[in-house]
Amino acid sequence: MPHHPKDEKREEQKQLVFDASVLKYQPDIPKQFIWPDHEKPNVNAPELQVPFIDLGGFLSGDPVSAMEASRLVGEACRQHGFFLVVNHGVDATLVADAHSYMGNFFELPLNDKQRAQRKLGEHCGYASSFTGRFSSKLPWKETLSFRYSADKKSSKIVEDYLDSKLGDEFKHFGRVYQDYCEAMSKLSLGIMELLAISLGVGRSHFREFFEENESIMRLNYYPPCQKPDLTLGTGPHC
């Protein structure tokens, strides 16, 4: 009996698994990961000069530096919509650990990573591309997402989540990202102060809206690909 085309399509989607440890060595990539040329980056596009904001003086309490940093932040927001910060006060060892542990996680066998598999409709967990959600123009990436809350009642939320999903051997892994999220939360509050100053409102104007923030931290990994010209690590998004 011939198969119905819809049945064949469902079976094809069901069988598709993004196992980076295998796919990164394959000379050809599955068609679901191939993107149309018109959606790929234009290699001839002019290079964007990303603004750098030095936070060193602001974080040290120097009022003159704070005013200059706020001016640069306001200018960057109006002209670019984003900026990079340097001398941000985040411990360099913590940043290095966050990158190192991310690499260690994504190098694990697929079965181990799937212990934290994201369930349909949820925002947190491990996802290997978007194979369960879409059937074409899939991104060549893996992600691990987890929730962070600055609420003091949730002081170990990242650590507890990763421990519950991945096991006791990942306790230090969870501690690193708990500390990293806390550092990012503190830094974001400082940046919100600069935004407030640049807008001419009180320095702490936005603090009440973000002080006990909740957010999603996402680790993105873009594995090697034998045909990088055919796919994208991530598609257009905002």
- The pLDDT tens digits for 203-229 are 999 988 888 889 999 999 999 999 999
pLDDT tens-digit readout, 132-176: 777 889 999 999 999 999 988 888 999 999 999 999 999 999 999
Instruction: Write out the residue range of the structural domain in which residue 70 sits.
Output: 49-89
pLDDT higher than threshold 80 for residue 4: no
Integer Cα distance of 137 and 48 in angstroms: 26
Model pLDDT, residue 2:
52
Are residue 187 and residue 209 in the same domain, yes or no? yes
Integer Cα distance of 94 and 101 in angstroms: 10
Are residue 112 and residue 165 in the same domain, yes or no? yes
Are residue 114 and residue 209 in the same domain, yes or no? yes
pLDDT tens-digit readout, 88-105: 999 999 999 999 999 999
pLDDT tens-digit readout, 73-84: 999 999 999 999
Helix (H, G, I), strand (E, B) or coil at 79: helix
Integer Cα distance of 186 and 15 in angstroms: 43
Q: Are 145 and 118 in contact (CB under 8 A)?
A: yes
DSSP annotation of 87 = S
Characterize 57-82 residue by residue with b for buried, 16 or more Cβ atoms within 10 angstroms of its Cβ, and e for exposed. bbbeeeeebbeebbebbbebbeeeee
| 68 part of a folded domain | yes
Integer Cα distance of 135 and 33 in angstroms: 9
- The structural domain count of the chain equals 2
In CATH, what number is assigned to the domain containing residue 131? 2.60.120.330
| 211 part of a folded domain | yes
Are residue 129 and residue 194 in the same domain, yes or no? yes
Are residue 176 and residue 206 in the same domain, yes or no? yes
Are residue 157 and residue 216 in the same domain, yes or no? yes
Q: Are strands 125-128 and 142-149 parallel, antiparallel or unpaired?
A: antiparallel
pLDDT tens-digit readout, 39-49: 888 888 888 88
Model pTM score:
0.88
Are residue 68 and residue 169 in the same domain, yes or no? no
